[in-house]
Amino acid sequence: MADRFISIEGIARRYPSPAGATTVFEDLWLAMRRGEFVCVIGHSGCGKTTVLNILAGLDRPSEGSVIVDGQAIEGPSLDRAVIFQSHALLPWRSVIGNVAYAVSSRWRKWSASQVRAHAQRFIDLVGLAGAEHKRPAELSGGMKQRVGIARALAIEPKIMLMDEPFSALDALTRGTLQDEVRRICLETGQTAFMITHDVDEAIYLADRIVLMTNGPDAKLAEIVENPLPKSRARAEIHRHPLYYAVRNHIIDFLVTRSKSFAEEIAAKGFDPRNVAVVRPGIIESAADAEHPARLAGVSRL
d(CA 274, CA 244): 26
Please report, for residues 24, 25, 53, 121, 240, the alpha-carbon distance to residue 8 in angstroms, rounded to integers and kept in the order given: 16, 13, 13, 33, 32
**238 and 101 both lie in a single domain:** no
How many CB atoms are closer than 10 A to CB 117?
13
How high is the pLDDT of residue 287?
A: 44
**199 and 66 both lie in a single domain:** yes
d(CA 137, CA 140): 8
Q: Which of 58-67, 71-80, 191-200, 280-289 has the lowest mean pLDDT?
A: 280-289
d(CA 170, CA 112): 36
DSSP 3-state assignment of 139?
A: coil
Stronger pLDDT, 262 or 29, i.e. the higher one: 29
d(CA 9, CA 296): 29
**Pairing mode, strands 191-195 and 37-41:** parallel
**Range 141-157 burial, b when 16+ CB lie within 10 A, else e:** bbbbbbbbbbbbbbbbb
| Structural domain contains residue 201 | yes
**138 and 163 both lie in a single domain:** no
Domain that holds residue 197: 6-79+159-295
Residue type at position 50: T
d(CA 15, CA 207): 32
Q: In terms of DSSP H, where are the helices of the chain?
A: 48-56, 95-106, 112-125, 141-154, 171-188, 199-205, 243-252, 258-268, 286-289, 292-295
How high is the pLDDT of residue 283?
A: 60
| Structural domain contains residue 1 | no
My answer on whether omega of the bond before 216 falls inside 30° of 0, hence cis, is yes
**pLDDT tens-digit profile of 140-184?**
988 998 899 899 989 999 999 999 988 888 888 888 889 988 988
**190 and 269 both lie in a single domain:** yes
How high is the pLDDT of residue 132?
A: 93
pLDDT at 55 over 90: yes
Under 8 Å between Cβ of 175 and 234:
yes
Residue type at position 249: H
How high is the pLDDT of residue 248?
A: 95
How high is the pLDDT of residue 290?
A: 44
- Residue after which a domain boundary falls, among 156, 171, 191: 156
**32 and 168 both lie in a single domain:** yes
How high is the pLDDT of residue 115?
A: 94
- Residue after which a domain boundary falls, among 131, 156, 181: 156
**131 and 176 both lie in a single domain:** no
| Structural domain contains residue 205 | yes
How high is the pLDDT of residue 266?
A: 63
How high is the pLDDT of residue 261?
A: 79
| Structural domain contains residue 248 | yes
| Structural domain contains residue 193 | yes
Q: Which of 44-58, 60-74, 106-120, 274-288 has the lowest mean pLDDT?
A: 274-288
**120 and 171 both lie in a single domain:** no
**36 and 178 both lie in a single domain:** yes
pLDDT at 2 over 70: no
**35 and 172 both lie in a single domain:** yes
Stronger pLDDT, 138 or 301, i.e. the higher one: 138
**265 and 190 both lie in a single domain:** yes
Nearest CA to 224 among 213, 209, 237, 212?
Answer: 209
Q: How many structural domains are present in the chain?
A: 2
CATH assignment of the domain containing 263: 3.40.50.300
pLDDT > 90 in the chain, percent: 57
Angle at Cα 130 formed by Cα 126 and Cα 134, nearest 5°?
A: 95
Query: Count of alpha carbons within 13 Å of 11, Cβ hemisphere only?
Result: 25
**118 and 187 both lie in a single domain:** no
Under 8 Å between Cβ of 185 and 200:
no
- Residue after which a domain boundary falls, among 139, 156, 173: 156
1-27 average pLDDT score: 85
**128 and 195 both lie in a single domain:** no
pLDDT > 70 in the chain, percent: 92
203-231 average pLDDT score: 92
| Structural domain contains residue 208 | yes
**pLDDT tens-digit profile of 282-301?**
765 444 444 444 444 433 22
